Amino acid sequence: MAEVLRIKTPLTDAVVSSLKSGNSVLITGVMYTGRDAAHKRMIDALNRGEKLPFDIQGQIIYYVGPSPAKPDRPIGSAGPTTSYRMDAYAPTLIKLGLKGMIGKGWRAKEVIDACMKYKAIYFGATGGAGALIARSIRKADVIAYDDLGPEAVRKIEVVDFPAIVINDAYGNDLYVKGVEEYKQSEEAHT
Amino acid sequence: MMREVKVKQITDAVSRLCMEANFDIPADIMDAVSKAYREEASPQGRDVLKQIIDNDEIAHNERVPMCQDTGLAVFFVELGQDVHITGGLLNDAINDGVRKGYKEGYLRKSTCNPFTRKNVGDNTPSVIHVEVVAGDRIKITMAAKGGGSENMSRVMMLKPSDGLEGIKKYIIDRVGESGSNPCPPVIVGVGIGGTFERSALIAKKSLLRPLDVPNPDPELDKLERELLTSINKLGIGPMGLGGRTTALGVHVIVEPCHIASLPLAVNIQCHSARHKETTL
């Protein structure tokens, strides 16, 4: 297991600046969930001059559509969904003060640029580890767009949520660096 | 002599399949992930593989879905021609089973209207492929197909002149371009030949073959191993963080095609390769 940093939400610029691509982190505090449909609604609301359903300053949005909670559990399985589908919306939210996003998969250049310009972090979580990740989510309440079901915006409280810094505020990309490190030529023998 | 099967038997079986497929990772997948964990060179890749193993054990023990994306429910039905289904229609019975299983199993409902994106609410309609076969039994295979890996899949109508080299290049490039998106380590389902839609169907069907069962055709077995070696040299690794384990397997099905065509389908499957079958 690589060295792990413990961080708390909301994220300050100091914390964002200290994180480097490749750092493993455990996140504790409040986060918000949102994926495709919720992002569209949030951006539509902004375009109409309305406010977002929560104060986005310093916050992290976790790209997840959890499965239904069993009785006596705060949430069902809750692993990350693929992030590129939120690329069209993310730069606007980062500009407004969003400091972190958690998902899986590569981001568009516009998102990486926004992370550098406004100081924000893109974290990766392990896709398909929804049952494991759910253990770090202690509380979940739908705070907006209830009609979207799994896509509703939830306020969640997490303790030691496991993630890794993919894109830091300096333009580094773990997906690029990691692949470069392990790529072998066709002729190479393992 | 026709053998009768009541729709209720089908509905109950489907309901159970939906839950078990989502709670219980197939043994061949767990074995392959465990082997990859022992052999992976990248420390971060190993961390990811350990998380996957722990996750799949939690899902099995606590009867919760291993992944929150419990998929669109895809069915391959082998219907014996001496079976008489009574009390209703086959497709209705299957969809009733999906409604029941996804509700009782606390599985996520993921079907929606393509334009409004409004959730249908009960994960129907499912995708049902029926093949009529000899005998008086019904074999039902349920696959829970998540959106992340399905989105990275493609059908490509190659030119016959592209040949085998063109086929190999397209498959390797597809996995490479998908990168971290489809939740690697993946299983790559390949359909070569047939028509546009047939290639996609056989690519999906190829994913049902267990990882520890080699392709019965020695030439295709060789091709699968060659493709797997090339894909694992891409360096993508578990969850795209870099590493040697990008794919756990490549499965190929080949069928004859039109003299003008060379259809190629690549159906990417994430490591949560969920499928379960039963025979009635």
Instruction: List, as ranges, residues 43-82 from A with C-beta within 8 Å of B.
Output: 64-70, 76-79, 81-82
Out of B68, B230, B236, closest to residue A79 by CB = B68
Distance from A108 to chain B by nearest Cα, in Å? Answer: 13
Q: Which CATH architecture has domain A4-174?
A: Alpha-Beta Barrel (3.20)
Q: What is the pLDDT of residue A22?
A: 96
Q: What is the pLDDT of residue A153?
A: 97
Nearest to B75 by CA among B60, B95, B89, B59: B95
Q: What is the pLDDT of residue B1?
A: 78
Token code pair at residue B62: 């606590």
Nearest to A182 by CA among B43, B172, B48, B262: B43
Q: What is the pLDDT of residue A3?
A: 79
Residue range A94-101: average pLDDT? 98
Spatial contact of B186 and A105, defined as CB atoms under 8 Å apart:
no
Q: What is the pLDDT of residues B148-172, one digit of tens each?
A: 999 999 999 999 999 999 999 999 9
Out of B51, B235, B243, closest to residue A126 by CB = B51
Nearest to B209 by CA among B161, B262, B277, B264: B277
Burial zone of B168 (CB within 10 Å; 0-12 exposed, 13-18 middle, 19+ buried): middle
**ipTM of this complex:** 0.94
Q: What is the pLDDT of residue A185?
A: 81
Q: Please report, for chain B, the start and end positions of each structural domain, with discontinuous segments joined by +.
A: 3-23+66-145, 148-274
**How does residue B103 score in pLDDT terms, banded at 50, 70 and 90?**
very high
Contacts of A151 in chain B (CB under 8 A): 119
Q: Please report, for chain A, the start and end positions of each structural domain, with discontinuous segments joined by +.
A: 4-174
Q: B68 vs A78, A100, A132, B247, CA distance in Å?
A: 5, 21, 11, 22
Start-to-end Cα distance in chain A: 23
Contacts for B34-38: CB closer than 8 Å, 24+ residues apart:
B36/B185, B36/B238, B36/B245, B36/B248
With an 8 Å Cβ cutoff, are A76 and B119 in contact?
no
> Pairing relation of β-strands B127-133 and B154-158?
unpaired
Q: What is the pLDDT of residues B182-235, one digit of tens each?
A: 999 999 999 999 999 999 999 999 999 999 999 999 999 999 999 999 999 999
Q: What proportion of chain B, given as a percentage, has pLDDT over 90?
A: 100
A180 touches chain B (CB under 8 A): yes
A18 touches chain B (CB under 8 A): no
Token code pair at residue B82: 């001496």
Out of A68, A135, A175, closest to residue B180 by CB = A175
| H helix intervals, A48-173 | 90-95, 109-118, 130-134
Q: What is the pLDDT of residues A123-163, one digit of tens each?
A: 999 999 999 999 999 999 999 999 999 999 999 999 999 99
With an 8 Å Cβ cutoff, are A126 and B41 in contact?
no
Nearby residues of B50 by Cβ (< 8 Å), 6 or more positions away? B37
Sign of CA dihedral B42, B48, B50, B53: negative
Q: What is the pLDDT of residue A188?
A: 55
| Whole-number Å distance between alpha carbons of B223 and B154 | 20
Contacts of A67 in chain B (CB under 8 A): 64-65, 68, 70, 106-108
With an 8 Å Cβ cutoff, are B235 and A179 in contact?
yes
**How does residue A2 score in pLDDT terms, banded at 50, 70 and 90?**
low
Contacts of A186 in chain B (CB under 8 A): 230, 233
pLDDT at B14 over 70: yes
| Whole-number Å distance between alpha carbons of A58 and A16 | 10
With an 8 Å Cβ cutoff, are B180 and A124 in contact?
yes
Out of A65, A124, A128, closest to residue B108 by CB = A65
Residue range B130-141: average pLDDT? 98
Residue range B32-55: average pLDDT? 97
pLDDT at B241 over 60: yes
pLDDT at A91 over 80: yes
Q: How many CB atoms lie within 10 A of CB B116?
A: 8
Q: What is the pLDDT of residues B24-38, one digit of tens each?
A: 999 999 999 999 999
With an 8 Å Cβ cutoff, are B64 and A77 in contact?
yes
Residue range B114-120: average pLDDT? 93
Token code pair at residue A187: 């002729």
Burial zone of A2 (CB within 10 Å; 0-12 exposed, 13-18 middle, 19+ buried): exposed
